[in-house]
Amino acid sequence: MSKRIAGPEIERLIQLLAKVPGLGPRSARRAALHLIKKKEQLLGPLAAAMAEALDTVRICSTCGNVDTCDPCTVCTDARRDPATLIVVEDVADLWALERAGAINARYHVLGGTLSPLDGVGPEELNIKALVDRVAAGGFGELILAVNATVEGQTTAHYITDQLDGLGVKVTRLAHGVPVGGELDYLDEGTLAAALKSRTTF
Amino acid sequence: MSKRIAGPEIERLIQLLAKVPGLGPRSARRAALHLIKKKEQLLGPLAAAMAEALDTVRICSTCGNVDTCDPCTVCTDARRDPATLIVVEDVADLWALERAGAINARYHVLGGTLSPLDGVGPEELNIKALVDRVAAGGFGELILAVNATVEGQTTAHYITDQLDGLGVKVTRLAHGVPVGGELDYLDEGTLAAALKSRTTF
């Protein structure tokens, strides 16, 4: 804006909102105005919820998940299968798998993937804790639910090597046609994988 | 989510973020995770900025704008033309006109449009203060920058009636083809208005 049309507190709120994923400079202005208009119903509670999250959120020392308790809600949930461990790159992946609701397992969050070009080596990831966790025994299967990218697959291979000799069965997610997907829009790699892993109808 | 996978503080943050315009339930989860990961750089400052806005933001008693001072930054800006008053429906419209940077005037924010069906009569809007402000003298022109909707135009007519006899020249924004717009995609009303108000090339 060419001229100052609002106090610095409002400008700052807009600038910070613009850094939230999903909001840009334009929608941040709209969001700020909406928040200001709904001071009591939204701005106040949201400010309080953020302050509370700031105080209470921590990283689970067992699995790397974020939660307000340590060990986290997932690690302390006694109804989960204690013998199955799903390895994910990010907390967002853990949440996505939980939304699918297809499995009742425990998780281990790596915090990223191996990426030598970006300076991410095994030490930067939550891999040593994973190996220690598996070595402590009790897990029958470890599911590598990493992204189907080059970095994800490299990380999966590295982890498999590290777990060698610990007697745990290592599996990975199936490759194939996404449910609801149209063949015409799929890449060759996915189609080849789907053909290769075809099942009896 | 079928099972609790995070503490109530995180769930509450996601629920509140989902109410921010521009974010939905899915992007609110993504935003919450991003905020939690950037605790020091983003979550903390944003929580503080919101708390500060909550404390400091008020409605300008002169024009109805939102700001952290009263009278607001726009009303107290001595470099603005004191004789031109732009009437807008909402603070967002004031911000939009200021971004255009085409005029150096003062503003009056109505806070909505007349809408009998929704129970919005003249008393619900900032119209009496507008009439008083104009009656106090000093304004040569009043620009009705209301939306080109039925409600906006009804409101414009009502305001014009109220200002009758106060000796202020009332103008409205031009109708026409938006800059960069393609004729093919424009509605008949806009094209008719653009033809009627055609200018010498």
Q: Tell me if residue A126 falls in helix, strand or coil.
A: coil
Confidence class for position A1, pLDDT limits 50, 70, 90: very low
**Angle, helices B8-17/B25-37, rounded to nearest 10 degrees:** 120
ipTM above 0.90, yes or no: no
User: Do B163 and B87 belong to one domain?
Assistant: yes
Q: How far is B83 from chain A (nearest CA, A)?
A: 18
Residue A123 resides in a domain: yes
Q: Does B104 reside within a domain?
A: yes
Of all residues in chain A, what percent carry a pLDDT higher than 70? 99
CB contact under 8 A, B23 and A19: no
Of A16, A28, A53, the CB nearest to B9: A53
**Do B102 and B133 share a domain, yes or no?**
yes
* Inter-chain touch A98–B1, beta carbons under 8 Å: yes
Give A165-195 pLDDT, tens digit per residue: 999 999 999 989 998 888 888 898 889 988 9
Q: What is the CATH number of the domain that holds A168?
A: 3.40.1360.10
Whether residue B30 is contained in a domain is answered as yes
Question: Residue A144: which residues within 8 A CB-CB, separation 6 or more?
Answer: A87, A156, A159, A160, A170, A171, A172, A173
Q: Which two structure tokens, joined as six digits, stand for B30?
A: 């993504």
- What distance in Å separates the CA atoms of residue A39 and residue B54, rounded to the nearest whole number? 6
Comparing CB atoms, the residue among A5, A9, A99 nearest residue B53 is: A9
Other CB atoms within 10 Å distance of the CB of residue B128: 11
Per-residue confidence (pLDDT) for residue B200, from 0 to 100: 83
Residue B3 lies in a domain: no
Tokens encoding B16:
């509140």
Whether A102 contacts chain B with CB within 8 A = no
A135, pLDDT greater than 60: yes
A66 and B10 in contact (C-beta within 8 Å)? yes
Cβ-Cβ contacts under 8 Å, B42 against chain A: 16, 19-20
Q: Quick check: A87 and A108 in contact, CB under 8 A?
A: yes
Residues B75 and B164: their CA atoms lie apart, in Å, by 24
pLDDT, position B1? 43
Same domain, B107 and B131: yes
**CB pair distance less than 8 Å for B16 and A52:** no
Q: Which tens digits make up the pLDDT trace of A53-84? A: 999 999 999 999 999 999 999 999 999 999 99
Q: Rounded to an integer, what distance in angstroms lies between the CA atom of residue A110 and that of residue A170?
A: 16
**CA of B7: which chain A residue's CA is closest?**
A68
Q: Are residues B155 and B107 in the same domain?
A: yes
B35 at A interface, C-beta within 8 A: yes
Indicate which CATH number applies to the domain containing B39. 1.10.8.420
B71 and B166, same domain (yes or no): yes
Q: Check pLDDT > 80 for residue A131.
A: yes
pLDDT surpassing 60 at residue A44: yes
Is residue B134 located within the same domain as residue B45?
A: no
In a domain, A7, yes or no: no
B194 within some domain: no
Distance from CA of A62 to the nearest CA of B (A): 15
Residue-number span of the structural domain to which A155 is assigned: 104-173
Q: Decide: B44 and A54 in contact? Cβ < 8 Å.
A: yes
Are B88 and B158 members of one domain? yes
Let me know if residue B177 belongs to a domain: no
DSSP string, B125-165: TTHHHHHHHHHTS--SEEEE---SSHHHHHHHHHHHHHTTT
Helix (H, G, I), strand (E, B) or coil at B111: coil
Is B127 domain-assigned?
yes
A43/B66 touch (CB, cutoff 8 Å), yes or no: no
Do residue B142 and residue B77 come from a single domain? Answer: yes
- A contact test, residue of B20, B72, B77 with most A CBs within 10 A: B20
Q: Starting from the edge strand earliest in sequence, which strands make up the sheet with A106-109, in order?
A: A106-109, A84-88, A141-144, A169-172
**How confident is the model over A16-20, as a mean pLDDT?**
96
In terms of domains, do B150 and B77 share one? yes
pLDDT, mean over chain A: 92
Q: How many pairs of residues across A and B have Cβ atoms under 8 Å apart?
A: 188
Query: pLDDT under 50 in chain B at which residues?
Result: 1
**Residues B96, B70 contacting (CB under 8 angstroms):** no
> In terms of domains, do B75 and B38 share one?
no
Do residues B44 and B109 both lie within one domain? no
Task: State yes or no: pLDDT of A22 exceeds 70.
Answer: yes
Instruction: Name the pLDDT band for A3 (thresholds 50, 70, 90).
Output: low
| Chain A, nearest residue to B94 by Cα | A5
Cα within 13 Å of Cα(B114), Cβ side: 13
Q: How far is CA A199 from CA A184, A194, B93, in A?
A: 20, 9, 59
B9 interfacial to chain A (CB closer than 8 Å): yes
Residue B5's nearest CA partner among A94, A171, A102, A11 is A94
Chain A residues near residue B5 by CB distance under 8 angstroms: 73-74, 94-95, 98
The total of structural domains in chain A comes to 1
